[in-house]
Amino acid sequence: MDNNAEFASQTSYVNEYLHFISVESSLGFVLTAITPRGLRAVFLGDTREELEQDLRREFPWSKPEYNHYGLEGIGAQIVKCVETPRLDFSLPFDIIGTSFQLEVWRTLRSIRAGKTATYSEIAERIGAPGQELSVAQACLTNRLAVAIPCHRAVGDDGDIGVYRWGLERKKALLQAEADV
């Protein structure tokens, strides 16, 4: 996995270019959104409509446009990564987050497929011992499902933990990684 993936931006632009596509997968629908700088969002959900509403809510300063034909290849690549979570994303990232969130997300990308780390372990790795709740919160605010593998973060008590996209999806991703 490319642990040096570019986290290109922490800046947003009013009316920025944000094109998206949504495609079906074994985990439901996958919405992929890009800017000229890279991958801005990968959302998982039950319907295209739900995901488009989430996109508009998450990026209210943007004017998201559905771009089916221009993003077919990117959409297919993302679905392939969802179906085979051991694959890595070859696209640059254009994500927005606090310094703490970015550190958590970088650390999550260093966890190999098929492995997990507890929220406390992640907090220790980034030099923030005792901040496991903040790590869990950073996971919940991750906008790049699978690309930033928050599904690999688990509770300190052995519990599966939280997952923005639903616990059933988290279980399915972990199982898919364990099976390979």
Does residue 22 surpass a pLDDT of 60? Answer: yes
Please give the domain boundaries of the chain with CATH numbers for all domains: 99-179 (1.10.10.10)
Band of pLDDT at residue 4, cut at 50, 70 and 90: very low
| CB count in 10 Å sphere of residue 28 | 19
Distance CA 157, CA 154 (A): 8
Beta strand 117-118 with 38-45 is unpaired
Q: Both tokens of residue 49?
A: 């409509």
Please return the burial class of 104, using the count of CB atoms within 10 Å of its CB with bins 0-12, 13-18 and 19+: buried
What is the mean predicted confidence (pLDDT) over 35-56? 94
The tens digit of pLDDT for each residue in 50-95 reads 999 999 999 988 888 888 667 888 888 888 888 887 777 778 899 9
Catalytic site positions: 150
pTM value?
0.88
pLDDT at 109: 94
